[in-house]
Amino acid sequence: MSEEKNDIFEAVFNPKSVAVVGASSNVSKGGHRRFVSILENYKGKLYPINPKEDEVAGIKAYASVLDVPEDLDQVVISIPSGGVPGVMEECVKKGVKIVTVFTSGFSESGDEGRILESEIVDIAHRGDTRVVGPNCIGVYCPYSGLSFYPTLPKEEGDVAFISQSGGLAMAFVQTGTLYNLGYSRVISFGNAADLDCTDYFEYLTDDPKTEIVGAYLEGVKDGRRFTKVIHELARKKPLIIWKVGRTEVGARAISSHTGSLAGEDRIWDGLFKQHGVVRVNSFDEMLDTVALFKFAPSVGPRIAIITIGGGAGVATADICAGIGLEIATFSSHTSDELKKVVPAAGTSVKNPVDLAATALNPSAMRKVMELVSADESVDTIMTLGLPDATMGLFVRELKRFKGDKPLIVIAPISSEASIKAHRTISKGNIPVYTSEERAAKAISNVVWYNSKFGRYF
């Protein structure tokens, strides 16, 4: 990426100064929420812009961005759409690098909105100003302290998420914290009137703070450039995309959401497969797959299943085999060693391993996991079906686990104890899922990516 483009994205994610147009002391106003969200953790200089206010949240307010005595890297606009062109004129005159337009009422709303959207971009490009949005909630970046909501985590991480939907960007951050994910760059870019997903992908390709990239997309503007950029990005870092608009109904909904064109779905499918992009089909699958890339990227296709019940083991084997994973065949040595730990009555030491009541002894469960991990036919271990009564003990034993194979925990949420266990297991950087289907699909996605590029981390 050129130095000029890099400067643009530094102003997006790491601005030295930000002004919020429409910042207000009125808590019911969107400008109030925008301002206090940034104020909470932002490390640069912050200026409220409102001609009707002397100060906002104890900070001196200015009538216009032109009145701010210092340079501005980024301006966030949160006023009705009709006033945006005038503010954009002032931003260009001020030499603002980035304008994030939180306001809606542009191309997603029809022909008049499209004209207005074109107008603000034309104004911006008369200078050196670039536009994020409109119809977006902007940036969350713990490294700079930018946030689109006051209570989002302050912890820094290496996962980036690029989204045309503001609500999904928010949900991804909030839900991802339950997986122990930390974030480098998250952006809701809405209608993408100027900067779009391709621009963000290009920046993230060489961003040293980002190791995994997820995205929610509704459409792109320049297919040829998009293809070139994702080709480069996916070879350097896992790229996981949830591209919606698979159906005619979904495509129509996209038009009214961000004004994007969805495109024919089979073309997207072929494009992603060709260039090594992991395509997911739901919010849960996105989170599950990102978490596995983060905490167990070396998962392989040969699965060992350890369960408390025979039926659950058989069902899980079916699920895994149905999406192309293999059920590992243990060596005779492993089977013999397992028999020393697992009583014969009501159990099985074949794969799936059915521990029955032995699972109530977490230390025995750990020993079984370690024996299975040592088997050369096994790439990945899945444990499932532990009762709430033993979850706390199991979590303790997990910390003592000495196997060298990736471990995936399946634990349905059925009580406060299981919720607590989920959080504790996640904090130990072990992927934990609420169902076998979710875990198996995530494993399949990561295995496919690794096989595509010959990467096993």
For the cut 80, the answer to whether the pLDDT of residue 254 exceeds it is no
Among the residue ranges 269-283, 323-337, 397-411, the one predicted with the least confidence is 397-411
pLDDT at 257: 44
Q: Name the residue among 70, 74, 225 with its Cα closest to residue 138.
A: 74
pLDDT at 306: 93
For 378-409, how does the pLDDT look when each residue is reduced to its tens digit (9 = 90+)? 999 999 866 565 677 778 888 889 899 999 99
Residues of the chain with CATH 3.40.50.720: 3-133
Instruction: Retrieve residue 44's tokens.
Output: 């640069």
For the cut 70, the answer to whether the pLDDT of residue 247 exceeds it is no
Q: Which amino acid, 424?
A: T
Strand order in the sheet with 183-188: 138-140, 183-188, 156-163, 212-217, 239-243, 278-279
For 171-193, how does the pLDDT look when each residue is reduced to its tens digit (9 = 90+)? 999 999 989 999 999 999 999 99
Bond before 134 cis per omega within 30 degrees:
yes
Q: What is the CATH number of domain 156-295?
A: 3.40.50.261
CB 139 within 8 A of CB 169: no
pLDDT at 384: 86
Topology, domain 302-453:
Rossmann fold (3.40.50)
pLDDT at 17: 98
Q: What percent of the chain is predicted at pLDDT more than 70?
A: 93
For 17-43, how does the pLDDT look when each residue is reduced to its tens digit (9 = 90+)? 999 999 999 999 989 999 999 999 999
User: What's the average model confidence in pLDDT over 100-129?
Assistant: 96
pLDDT at 456: 60
For the cut 70, the answer to whether the pLDDT of residue 307 exceeds it is yes
Question: Please, what CATH class does the domain formed by 3-133 belong to?
Answer: alpha beta
pLDDT at 221: 87
CB within 8 Å of 62: residues ≥ 6 apart: 19, 47, 48, 49, 50, 68
At 253, the pLDDT band (50, 70, 90 cuts) reads very low
* HEC per residue, 223-278: HHHHHHHHHHHHHHCCEEEEECCCCHHHHHHHHHHCCCCCCCHHHHHHHHHHHCCE
For 67-79, how does the pLDDT look when each residue is reduced to its tens digit (9 = 90+)? 999 999 999 999 9
At 259, the pLDDT band (50, 70, 90 cuts) reads very low
pLDDT at 274: 96
CB 214 within 8 A of CB 172: yes
Residues of the chain with CATH 3.40.50.261: 156-295, 302-453
pLDDT at 385: 67
For the cut 60, the answer to whether the pLDDT of residue 319 exceeds it is yes
At 203, the pLDDT band (50, 70, 90 cuts) reads very high
Bridge partners, 326 (sequence order):
302
